[in-house]
Chain A
Amino acid sequence: MPQSADKVLDHAPLFREPEYKEMLENKKVKFECGHPDEMVKDVGEWTKTWEYREKNLARTAATINPAKACQPLGAVFAGAGYEKTMSFVHGSQGCVAYYRSHLSRHFKEPSSCVSSSMTEDAAVFGGLINMVDGLANTKALYDPEMIAVSTTCMAEVIGDDLNSFILQAKEKGSVDTDFDVPFAHTPAFVGSHIDGYDNMQKGILTNFWNKKDAERVADDSINIIPGFDGFAVGNIREMKRVLGEMDITGYTILSDVSDVYDTPSDGEFRMYSGGTKIADIPGALNAKATISMQEYCSKKTLDYCAEKGQETAAFHYPMGVKGTDDFLMKLGELTGKEIPESLRLERGRLIDAMADSQSWLHGKTYAIYGDPDFVYAMAAFIMETGGEPRHCLATNGSKAWAAQMEELLASSPFGKDCQVWAGKDLWHMRSFLNTEPVDILIGSSYGKYLERDTGTPLLRLAFPIFDRHHHHRFPTWFYQGTLTVLVKILDLIFDKLDDETIEPGVTDYSYDLTR
């Protein structure tokens, strides 16, 4: 009997004990009716070939292990970034359970959101009653200052009209007529979570900026849209610090989740914490400019801001040297502020670290996947280290994104061997890594299956990260954040080298003390 109270074995060691190995072998042989081992091995080898890769690339209907989620997830994330705002998703209730779980598993934090719990009768008659009752109940139980409504695909397919439903609910007294209930239609069968983020942002701004008495009186302030970001907690805080270094005070972060997904443990559960002040949203209309940290999370919102007369600018997840340089220079241009010496020194320290470690980084090859702006920034930074991106993949990347990527890669000799894969999934990536291997894979936790199947070490830098804790609390943006990214890459390279040279008397001549 392997188990004992002294040393309790859980699943990882327990099932490697002989009793269990024998039991599982017996199950396999007697009851499972599987294919012969040899056949499984042969087919497994075949899945690593170019022939398989071509079959894999030829599929047009099947999506296998995609790296994207659906629109409402992004809408819930965007809504969460406003003060005392409850996200309310109109449609089937299971969806909301999924968004909450997904966000909690990444951030290791509470994620509050309600559903209008539509069922079969609502599918036939529409979900008006669900909206009417739902808003009243949400207001009564959770006392939000704003309820941000988005939709599941069920409500979209039956064609529920949010604007009309919310007006009717207000008429019926669910919430006061002047209570803010911004909304966004977020069909899951269009785009991905980054579009849901965009739609919800636009919905919230529209709610305030299109009010009868709203009139734009331009001032010198700026608005900043962070975009959907698994590292938002660290990144938004770092952004505030950098804005402080720039002596910029007149700014509004539109959807600030940094305190929402990082509340303290001190005995109190805070359903709401921090966030963009609702009182600040109307005034944000007056801003001179709205800038987005992630172009593909904010296309519609920036168009709307431009319509209102604001200047707009969009970045691709400001990571890396040039990514940060460009952001700071634009910030300087918009605000008239000089980039301070302190930031020039930070830049210098990052460059110093890159120079110190360049021999370990030069020529390393990478596969990168994630949301479009992240992949862009990551590839740009890798090339700055002398690394070579070989596969850049965004399941939710468009043709326009692919063209931007090609342009970026063409700008550096380190990008010439890279292939850009817009709209492909992680089963495609498996074929790419098997046929054209790289040194390092950069992506989300889902990449661990690629690590297992192809032996490519994985660096977790993209949402979602379920199986490592707390990385999102540390920034990856700007010079300081880029330094963190650099160290993670280096740690992975050194750990791998140590692993490969650790065998005593066999490989440990290279197990160097100083590297």
Chain B
Amino acid sequence: MAKDVDDGPEGYKALIEEVLEAYPDKAKKKRAKHLTVSAPDPEGEPDEATGIASKCDTVKSNIKSVPGVMTVRGCAYAGSKGVVWGPVKDMIHISHGPVGCGQYSWSQRRNYYIGKTGVDSFVTMQFTTDFQEKDIVFGGDKKLGKMIDELEELFPLSKGTTIQSECPIGLIGDDIEAVAKQKNKEHEKTMVPVRCEGFRGVSQSLGHHIANDAVRDWVYEKGDGGAAKEYEPGQYDVNVIGDYNIGGDAWASRILLEEMGLNVVGNWSGDATLAEIERAPKARLNLIHCYRSMNYICRYMEEKFGVAWMEYNFFGPSQIAASLRAIAKNFDETIQEGAERVIAKYQPLVDQVNAKFRPRLEGKSVMLYVGGLRPRHVVTAYDDLGMNVVGTGYEFGHGDDYKRTGHYVKEGTLIYDDVTGYELEKFIETIRPDLVGSGIKEKYPVQKMGIPFRQMHSWDYSGPYHGYDGYAIFARDMDLAINNPVWGMYDAPWKSGPAAIAAE
């Protein structure tokens, strides 16, 4: 199907103007600050790995969504319970408040883990105080305390409990911190109150930050060290931070780090145990994948415990190799040789994958709209397949995310921050990319338009996409999305072709 817009900066700028016309004045002014086209950055240093220096910054980001526009964003609770804390497998995470939040987020993020669910692991369960009217009126602290006691009876092997606050908690003046302290004394287990009420902040993002702060306050500052006490650190100890093991991502990453000789002491927070969190400050280096959701605790660990941190990217072979080498630079020759060995070992797989899939994907255009690190991190994986990202945006990115995006995204890319349903639909409809990567809410509208789609939050129930093993799956999935015969069947044969058009 023909595109309705000239690719390139001028066409995209005109498209932005056109889309903004639909808004009432007040909203139009606000939304204009979130849409842009990436430009060359004359002052920027080209990135070592990608050779790219572009300017992707929108005027505004990380500010309130405009009411009534159909933002895709979630809330602070989603950022804490859904992202940061929820995957910690041997703790129980209470959705504290009414039933809905816990219900809708139950088992939806695909944070894989190994464990006996309901016995020593609890990730795919929904624990809630199920607030009723009387709890709103009289407060929920007693119910919360009682619930923690009951959980202790029914799940004696849990290592602790987190309290994930839903909206009402902060509004009715409950003192969940007091409950946590009391229950910590009584049960001698880690108790973590998290003030991640959904109305705080403007998106999931503040929930990440609050959850990070809760790790700091209630595991490190108030904790007794736990499993860290008897741990003897080694010279090759690292933590993986901000990998939620979606479809097994963290496992496909860990195998590479171990193969190059590193010890992964903690993985945060996919498939994590509380012990992995407690021991993390003893590691030499924090490797951070999702910067957006977990940079806060890395900064804290650096300041407090002197643990250095660095960002890396395990999407696609170019970035994996660059990351493995960058990680190895922090260690001795043994590890540096290990990195080279790993890269060499997997190169034949990369070559095979590219040989098989690249010809089927070369030159295809992609639009992304996702959260966290993915709006930039997956761009180079598409590059590796010969695909071209023509538009990307962050659900809840900050200025520092857009800065970093300049190392990944070429000039002339359409950039949209906290995009609205209306904007995204118009952008996609006009640009008609060969593939869209976004979330479940976007999947079906896009597919109705006849455009192939992959969910890039849940990996569309596939994965892992991290690491070399993940790259093969990523390539296969993009191929099966784009090259399925269904997209060719949208027009009824009696409705297409010159005869049918002439008859209309």
Contact = CB atoms under 8 A, between A and B. Distances in A.
Interface of A: 1-6, 8-11, 14-15, 19-20, 23-24, 26-28, 31-35, 39-40, 43-44, 47, 52, 55-56, 59-66, 68-70, 72-73, 88, 91-95, 97-102, 104-105, 108-120, 122-123, 129-131, 133-138, 140-142, 152-154, 157-158, 187-190, 192, 263-271, 427, 430, 446, 449, 453
A137 B66 contact: yes
A64 B122 CA distance: 11
A60 B170 CA distance: 23
Nearest to B101: A98
Given A40-B157, A104-B443, A65 B125 contact: yes
Contact of A8 (B106, B255, B425, B472): B472
B68 A266 contact: no
**Best-buried of B69, B77, B201, B462 by chain A (most CB within 10 Å):** B69
Contact of A137 (B69, B129, B448, B473): B69
Nearest to B279: A31
Of listed B65, B98, B202, residue having the most chain A CB within 10 A: B98
A100 B441 contact: yes
Nearest to A453: B118
Given A153-B168, A190-B132, A93 B73 contact: yes
B41 to A, nearest CB: 32
B90 interface: yes
Interface centre among A10, A62, A68, A157 (most CB of B within 10 A): A62
Given A117-B65, A446-B106, A3 B468 contact: yes
B440 A115 contact: no
Contacts of A61: 129, 143-144, 146-147, 149-150
Contacts of B443: 104
Interface in B354-394: 355-357
B177 interface: no
Contact of A63 (B129, B156, B469): B129
A157 B171 contact: yes
21 contacts: A10-B476, A11-B247, A27-B254, A40-B120, A43-B119, A56-B154, A59-B154, A62-B151, A63-B99, A64-B125, A64-B128, A66-B103, A68-B103, A100-B441, A110-B448, A115-B68, A137-B23, A140-B23, A141-B422, A265-B486, A269-B446
Lowest 10 CB-CB distances: which A-B pairs, in order?
A94-B75, A70-B100, A134-B68, A134-B67, A33-B275, A98-B104, A188-B98, A137-B68, A61-B146, A5-B352
A31 B248 contact: no
Counting contact residues on chain B (CB < 8 A from A), the size range is 35 or more
B266 interface: yes
Contacts of B105: 98
B220 to A, nearest CB: 17
A33 B273 contact: yes
Contacts of A192: 99
Contact of A154 (B128, B168, B201): B168
Given A34-B90, A60-B146, A112 B421 contact: yes
A130 B144 CA distance: 32
Given A32-B276, A154-B171, A11 B75 contact: no
B112 A11 contact: yes
B477 to A, nearest CB: 8
Contacts of B157: 35, 39-40, 43
A267 B67 contact: no
A62 B127 contact: yes
Contacts of A44: 116, 119
A114 B128 CA distance: 26
B173 to A, nearest CB: 11
